[in-house]
Amino acid sequence: MAFFTTSDDRRLFYSDTGAGIPLLCLAGLTRCSRDFSFLAPHVTDLRMITLDYRGRGQSDHDPDFMNYNIFRESHDVIELLDHLGVERVVVLGTSRGGLIAMAMAASHPERLSAVILNDVGPVIEPVGIAKIMDYVGKQPASSTYDEAAKALQHGMAPHFPGVSLERWRQQAEIQYEQTDTGLVLRYDPALRTALLDQAAAGAMPDMWMFFDALRDIPTGVIRGANSDVLGKNTLDEMHRRHPGLISADIPDRGHVPFLDEPQSLDLIRKVIGKL
């Protein structure tokens, strides 16, 4: 296990394994490094770096929950790269991680050799926002991983048809921590308050200008074919603004693909192959 301390004295967890082209994997809003466990066996030829954002996974919670924002989190990523002595990386950003990659493109484009966005773009569909706000900060109703796996399989079936119960149990172990009193979140529940307060303050900028900063950076997009977060119209506009963009729709996947699907792995390799 490895930790580093940020400039504002938060202790954050990261992992750094393998050798080769650095691939920095940034997880979704409420997720952590564990989210990339399905991908890891397929990228053993790369240097895979992951980060638990502040307030998530094994990293410190922040007493000022308003620091749970993409700008502070992108700054934390730059500080991690400085800590590791890594000049340039390929960023694979899932959902929130993709927004952080766009923020990095605007502020530190020289640190990005390529970017892969996993089911996210500059526009989040309203139905996706509503679904996210329905669960963020709420403790799981299930008390065991087996119960949680069944609940995930039932709830996600419309967007993830045919995914096995075993896979959903693995996902439950990634998302929740087992305690003597049941399952609990692997992140600070105050993240919900941060989102609500930031929305009320109008703190979220127009992300198109951040996406446009990727124009000269090799970029790929993985989209779940059943996604309710990244709409097809948004993806079409992303292609129009970034002529070099490549993308792949992943069948039988919603928000977000697991990243071990053949189409996901193929796109990741195509982007890295451009370097």
What is the rounded CA–CA span in Å between residue 156 and residue 90? Answer: 30
Residue 163 contacts residue 154 (beta carbons within 8 Å): no
Q: Is the CA virtual torsion 36, 37, 38, 43 positive or negative?
A: positive
Residue 246 contacts residue 220 (beta carbons within 8 Å): yes
Residue 25 contacts residue 48 (beta carbons within 8 Å): yes
Query: What tokens appear for 244 in the block?
Result: 């070099």
DSSP string, 72-94: HHHHHHHHHHHHHT---EEEEEE
Which amino acid, 88?
R
pLDDT tens track, the chain, 275 positions:
799 999 999 999 999 999 999 999 999 999 999 999 999 999 999 999 999 999 999 999 999 999 999 999 999 999 999 999 999 999 999 999 999 999 999 999 999 999 999 999 999 999 998 998 889 999 999 999 999 999 999 999 999 999 999 999 999 999 999 999 899 999 999 999 999 988 888 767 789 999 999 999 999 999 999 999 999 999 999 999 999 999 999 999 999 999 999 999 999 999 999 88
Other beta carbons within 10 angstroms of residue 73's beta carbon come to: 23
Residue 113 contacts residue 275 (beta carbons within 8 Å): yes
- Evaluate the omega torsion of the peptide bond into residue 256 and state whether it is cis, within 30 degrees of 0: yes
Residue 33 contacts residue 25 (beta carbons within 8 Å): yes
